[in-house]
Structure 1
Amino acid sequence: MFSRRLPGKTPPARMRRTEGSVMESLAERKKMLRRRMRGVRAGIFSCPEEHARLSLMIQRRAMAEPAWARSGSILLYAAFRDEADTSFLLEQAWLQGKTVALPRCRPAPAEGEMDFFVCRGWADLALSALGIPEPSPGLPLWRASGDPALMLVPGLAFDRRGGRLGYGGGFYDRWLDQGGTAGAGTPLTLGLAFSSQMVDEVPRGTWDRCVRGICTELETIWI
């Protein structure tokens, strides 16, 4: 004989312990990979010339993608600390007349969520409390116009199936899970990373969102 779980019934304690163990294991694997990848990026950043050279290669490769050319809107981010630099992409997008939007985190009580705001140049950016360049208050919220949009996504690690390991806040996962801007659809997502940030497998939970492609200094991978 075996027991069958009925709708609305609480799972047995043993099942709850198993689910909890799986969650703890996933969290620990992510924590370990984040620690390792932070070290990888710090190593690249320790040589400013190499960091700048690889960053420019990544940016030029991203711009060479057809998705860049056909996208009227580019959702980008201002690189922070040892992330691959994005300043060339930002400047080129502005020069090409594209609609450029950058993220800003929502204040309490909506921690963990963000919105993208249209920025027309560096003057529209200000430093957050953490020192991260973000859109200044009062800028228009980005909304899709029906034209293709490309979102360039940061991360600590990526794999060839589109798996992405972020910083643990879940900002991009939530934004993408909600379909970006409500009713507007979701932009094509392309992760930006150094090739040394590519791993065999990124540990993922059911709530983690994949990217459609990853661009490194060596190649662009579309899934």
Structure 2
Amino acid sequence: MAAVRAAKQALRREIKRRVAALSEDEKQRQSLVVSHKLLRHPKYVSAQRIAVFLSMKDEVCTQEIIKDVFKWGKSCFIPRYESNSSHMDMLRLHSLQDMEALPLTSWNIRQPAEDDNSREEALSEGGVDLILMPGLGFDRSGSRLGRGKGFYDTYLERCIKHPRGKPYTIALAFKEQLCEEIPVDANDVLIDEILYEEDE
């Protein structure tokens, strides 16, 4: 366990360095390539209930995807992370205006306030068809390196217990976030598919 933890920490530093070297223009360009791949993806097209992360500076930008979710009248759910645990809920987002009005967290991402109990949690009713996964690093076999809090692994465990079962998971990545192999332990849940800009 300690060896895996140390390997993950070293890899996190390496990937952060690679992504930090990207210009804003390059991140925007790759984000659009990945977004367009997703919007044509059969799993996205058929999904009605989609969980999307609100991207941070070092992640593929999800703005275009969220716009598209609303354009097609799909249900959009976004994470609310609890800062002092690994608990996360996926709460209903009603519109782009709703998103812009959300409070900013200390991590500089928008999420529903802790006392905002008016929103539907995805698993309380119909479950989720598709979860778009953030992460620091990924390998081609579906292993994911998160930020170390375990939010998504814990949430997927809850999904697996839901009557709908485990949703399809797609990670969105910059090419620079791909690794030969991510060290994993028993709690890490594999991702079904990783979308990134492939070299022609």
TM-score, normalisation: structure 2: 0.89
Aligned partner of 2:71 in structure 1 is 95
Aligned partner of 2:187 in structure 1 is 207
SS at match of 1:152: strand
Cα 1:61–1:117 change in 2 (3 A) is same
1:122 to 93, 96, 111: 96
Question: Aligned pairs, how many?
Answer: 192
Q: Gaps spanning 5+ residues in structure 2: where?
A: none
Q: Gaps spanning 5+ residues in structure 1: where?
A: 1-22
Q: Does 1:139 align with 2:119?
A: yes
Aligned partner of 1:73 in structure 2 is 49
Higher mean displacement: 58-67 or 126-135: 126-135
SS at match of 2:79: strand
Query: For the pair shown, which has the larger CA radius of gyration, 1 or 2?
Result: 1
User: Are the aligned partners of 1:124 and 1:135 in contact in 2 as well (CA < 8 Å)?
Assistant: no
CA RMSD between the two structures: 1.8
SS at match of 2:111: strand
Write the distance in 2 (CA, Å) between the matches of 1:80 and 1:70. 27
Query: Identity rate of aligned residues, in percent?
Result: 29
Aligned partner of 1:157 in structure 2 is 137
User: Are the aligned partners of 2:75 and 2:92 in contact in 1 as well (CA < 8 Å)?
Assistant: yes
1:1-51 alpha-carbon deviations (Å, 9 max, x no partner)? xxxxxxxxxxxxxxxxxxxxxx1111110000000001111111xx12111
1:53-86 alpha-carbon deviations (Å, 9 max, x no partner)? 1111011011111001110111101101221100
Write the distance in 1 (CA, Å) between the matches of 2:67 and 2:48. 15
TM-score, normalisation: structure 1: 0.80
Aligned partner of 2:150 in structure 1 is 170
Aligned partner of 1:179 in structure 2 is 159
Higher mean displacement: 160-169 or 126-135: 126-135
User: Are the aligned partners of 2:27 and 2:174 in contact in 1 as well (CA < 8 Å)?
Assistant: no
Aligned partner of 2:3 in structure 1 is 25
